Amino acid sequence: MPAAIASGDRKILLIAGAVLVVLTAGLAFVGGDPQEHGMSIPSTYSASPGGARAAYLLLEELHYKVSRWERSPTELPIGDAGAVLIIADPLEAPTKEEVAALQDFVAKGGQVIFTGERIKSFFLKAKVEEKFPEAEWQTFAANIPSNYTAGAPKIVLQTGTAWQTPEASQLALYGDAGSPVVVSWRIGDGRILWWAAATPLTNSGISREGNLNFFLNAMNFPLPDEKTAVKIYWDEYFHGERTSLWWYVVAAGLLAAQFFAPLELSRGPLLGVAWIWPILIWSAMGARESRFGTNELLFASARILRRQLPACWFAGVAVALLTGMGAAIRLFLAGQNASLVAWLAGALFLPSFALALGIWSRSSKPYEGLLTALWYIGPMNRTPGLDFTGAANGPLTLNYSVIYLALSTALLTLAFFGRARQLRSD
């Protein structure tokens, strides 16, 4: 018969459970769609007015060689004179190595189309006056005829940002000559085409006066009308969509270590690290559609509650099972059935928590913050009851497992009702 939970441990669990419920419920009211707070992201995944899905699909329809780039700039092909990299209003800053790689990419013949004021973090010699984006649409006339301005004597941008005093290698294409809003900047054998705003490639802005022609002109680098010669890489890496070979290498290393390390180390610290490693995968569950403004597309699908929601949850569970499989096999071979149940309870809890919190908060940040705190207090400090791997729970392992299974059920129920609420309101 499982041992009873001590009163002190029961108090910790009750407090932790209450905090979890309060935070999840509170985020249902204070959390909101990022688009409602002016956080529009020109992502190719986004169908919102500030997204760039229409422009991306247009390039595909016109048979351009376009693909999403979700890897570090250090992996970009160097020396390809027909390569175009689009970095539209990046959210994250580059590392020193990535800055050097981008500089090398341009100097050896590539073109970078960069939108927004954050260019100074990527190309250190850029001189941009940083201001808050303006809501009003502004029309700017072309200063000189060029391949970029052909068929686009005027363009429309939503911006308050401008380039400061262009140098000899920087050509002012639109706006005042001393503070232009579009600049062609020659570096080595390549070029940077800077726009003060991403408006010409956004879903709501591409159809504005001159914007479509201007956008397509920028894609025809280096030779107009030779679409097959141009390879377009549309960056999503700096929007947070990152895939890297090293991620899989580390995940595989942690999995292998679970097989060969001593059992207590395998089911404890190693499993804890293996289950914090996919945090960015789980944190996107339930929140991705709000982040990229694809709610309308997703919610228009048939039987979304019966199909898409379970599919998302099963995918998250699969990640937990795969990354922690080594510890599970070791526990099974050792005949530690109670610990194996605790492992399974943890594997179900992590994606359930992510899905519920993502749906109700419409953001990945709450899950990332809460899970990191729980991981540090629980598995890393071996706190009974808060260790979702089950390694620190001792004779109460089955009791705590039941609690985590119940929490997972409650969180899935919250996720279901949260998604149903979104379907009614969005």
Q: Which pLDDT belongs to residue 392?
A: 85
Q: Which pLDDT belongs to residue 31?
A: 44
* pLDDT tens digits along 217-243: 998 865 554 555 789 999 999 987 666
Confidence band for 299, pLDDT divided at 50, 70 and 90: low
* pLDDT tens digits along 18-57: 554 455 445 444 444 444 344 578 989 887 788 898 999 9
Among 1-5, 87-91, 254-258, 380-384, the least confident range:
1-5
In b/e form, how buried is each residue of 398-426, taking b as 16+ CB within 10 angstroms? Answer: bbbbebbbebbebbbebbbebbeebeeee
Q: Which pLDDT belongs to residue 136?
A: 78
pLDDT at 3 > cutoff 70: no
Confidence band for 291, pLDDT divided at 50, 70 and 90: low
Query: How far apart are the C-alpha atoms of 374 and 411, rounded to whole Å?
Result: 16
Give the chain's domains with CATH numbers: 7-37+244-425 (no CATH), 53-239 (3.40.50.880)
392 Cβ contact partners less than 8 Å away, ≥ 6 residues apart: 268, 378, 379, 382, 383, 384
pLDDT at 119 > cutoff 70: yes
pLDDT at 275 > cutoff 70: yes
